[in-house]
Copies of this chain bind each other. A is one copy, B any other.
Amino acid sequence: MKQIYMDHHATTPVDAEVLEAMMPALTTEFGNPSSNTHAYGHAARYMVDAARAQVARLIAATSPDEIIFTSGATEADNLALKGVVHAKEHMADRNMITLAIEHKAVLDTAVRLEKEHVEIRFARMDPYGVVDLDDLEKKIDKNTILISIQAANSEIGTLQPIRDIGVIAKKHNVPFHTDAVQALGRCEIDVVRDHIDLLSISAHKMYGPKGIGALYVRKGIKLVPIIDGGGHERQMRSGTLNVPGIVGLGKAAEIAKRDLARESVRLLKLRNRLQEGILRRIDHVGINGHPTKRLPNNLNVTFAYVEGESLILACREVALSSGSACTSASLQSSYVLKALKVPDFLAHCSLRFGLGKSNTQEHIDIVIDLLEKGVQRLREMSPLYDMAREGVDIDGVRWSHHHK
């Protein structure tokens, strides 16, 4: 039997409607949209134009021309940051402002830019990961060339006040980029109202296919491309257009807009049921991320004294992800929880639940049962649980360090 899928922050299945829309581009309508001397090329161009308009509508962009297709949001984030920075190559001192809990696509790009002598400033956050707007504004100076702050966090689901950030950015005339990958289809975003200049999109996080995304680039924003060769996409991103992917992204955007209100309410109900069930039936539990300003489909929970992977194993009828070192090749616990000063020990005890379209109330009830049993069994095995019950302060003990 298939596992119940509760890892929708990692990726989502392709909607049947989306796949259906893609099929012509994968079969008979296989032309290259750059081929303007025959009907195959023309048909491909129409499909791409239609999809561009669908994506523009999802975020209320003024014109479809402001949508630049990329291979995904990792590329979109790279293009936004590197593109803006490299367009200001003439400035000796440059800085950009971001958050320590951004996706690696932003953080690793920032590290790369640091090597090119761009100063990276991290705005302060509250313990839930919400940006401190005063601190953000204080960090802006005349050499600030970009603010990059995500709309929603993929681990803890915390939402940022993007409209407030947009207002501050506009006031200081600094371009504002937001990675909206997790928020799209779950929260309403309007690039005009929210004063967003650049916005990253990934299809496979909203029931579209993998390998396709987009960067919204407000008219007037200049970017140096990271991929050269032929000058596609308004000279900002070269390469033969991924027509089936683009059609899929377009359809996914259309559906996301259409179903947003209904689906986000449904997910919120399921998430709350999950949260309440866990809190009612399991003790020594903590919720990571903001109590209310969070994605309707996200829950991130620390089950103290139980290592995350071992708990996932106990729930292996369900596909889940953890903030645990033991599920990643790097053996580092979640950098997001770390940045929010969650002690490493507790970060290792955290699970992420990412709900989605396929999930039902029954799934929620199954996972609560599994968690309750699993936590109980694993705590009985846990030397830390014993210590805690005996009143030992776990943080106070001098532990041996066996991992280097």
List the interface of chain A (C-beta within 8 A of B). Answer: 2-3, 5, 7, 10-14, 19, 22, 26-28, 30-32, 34-41, 70-75, 77-78, 103-109, 111-112, 202, 204, 209-212, 226-231, 238-245, 309, 312, 316, 318-322, 327-328
Docked Cα-Cα span, A319 to B231, in Å, equals: 23
Q: Is the CB of A27 within 8 A of B19?
A: yes
Q: Is the CB of A244 within 8 A of B210?
A: yes
Docked Cα-Cα span, A106 to B238, in Å, equals: 11
Instruction: Please give, as numbers and ranges, the residues of chain B lying within 8 Å of A78 by CB-CB distance.
Output: 226-229
Q: Is the CB of B105 within 8 A of A229?
A: yes
Instruction: Please give, as numbers and ranges, the residues of chain B lying within 8 Å of A73 by CB-CB distance.
Output: 239
Q: Is the CB of A41 within 8 A of B10?
A: yes
Docked Cα-Cα span, A94 to B55, in Å, equals: 42
Instruction: Please give, as numbers and ranges, the residues of chain B lying within 8 Å of A14 by CB-CB distance.
Output: 26-27, 30
Instruction: Please give, as numbers and ranges, the residues of chain B lying within 8 Å of A228 by CB-CB distance.
Output: 78, 104-105, 108-109, 111-112
Partner of A3, one of B2, B40, B316: B40
Partner of A229, one of B5, B106, B226, B321: B106
Q: Is the CB of B239 within 8 A of A75?
A: yes
Instruction: Please give, as numbers and ranges, the residues of chain B lying within 8 Å of A204 by CB-CB distance.
Output: 32, 240
Instruction: Please give, as numbers and ranges, the residues of chain B lying within 8 Å of A209 by CB-CB distance.
Output: 26, 242, 244
Report the minimal beta-carbon distance from A8 to chain B, rounded to whole angstroms.
Answer: 10
Instruction: Please give, as numbers and ranges, the residues of chain B lying within 8 Å of A321 by CB-CB distance.
Output: 35, 37-38
Instruction: Please give, as numbers and ranges, the residues of chain B lying within 8 Å of A28 by CB-CB distance.
Output: 2, 13
Known A-B contacts A26-B19, A71-B211, A242-B71; A229 and B37 likewise in contact (beta carbons under 8 Å) = no
10 extra interchain contacts, Cβ-Cβ under 8 A, other than A11-B30, A242-B245?
A7-B37, A14-B27, A38-B316, A72-B239, A74-B227, A74-B239, A78-B227, A104-B230, A111-B228, A226-B226
Known A-B contacts A78-B227, A230-B74, A242-B211; A34 and B10 likewise in contact (beta carbons under 8 Å) = yes
Most-contacted residue by chain B among A5, A22, A229 (CB, 10 A): A229
Report the minimal beta-carbon distance from A34 to chain B, rounded to whole angstroms.
Answer: 7
Instruction: Please give, as numbers and ranges, the residues of chain B lying within 8 Å of A38 by CB-CB distance.
Output: 3, 5, 7, 312, 316, 318-321
Report the minimal beta-carbon distance from A99 to chain B, rounded to whole angstroms.
Answer: 15
Q: Is the CB of B27 within 8 A of A13?
A: yes
- Residue of B whose beta carbon sits closest to that of A69: B211
- Residue of B whose beta carbon sits closest to that of A72: B239
Docked Cα-Cα span, A256 to B168, in Å, equals: 55
Q: Is the CB of A309 within 8 A of B211?
A: no
Report the minimal beta-carbon distance from A227 to chain B, rounded to whole angstroms.
Answer: 5
Report the minimal beta-carbon distance from A194 to chain B, rounded to whole angstroms.
Answer: 24
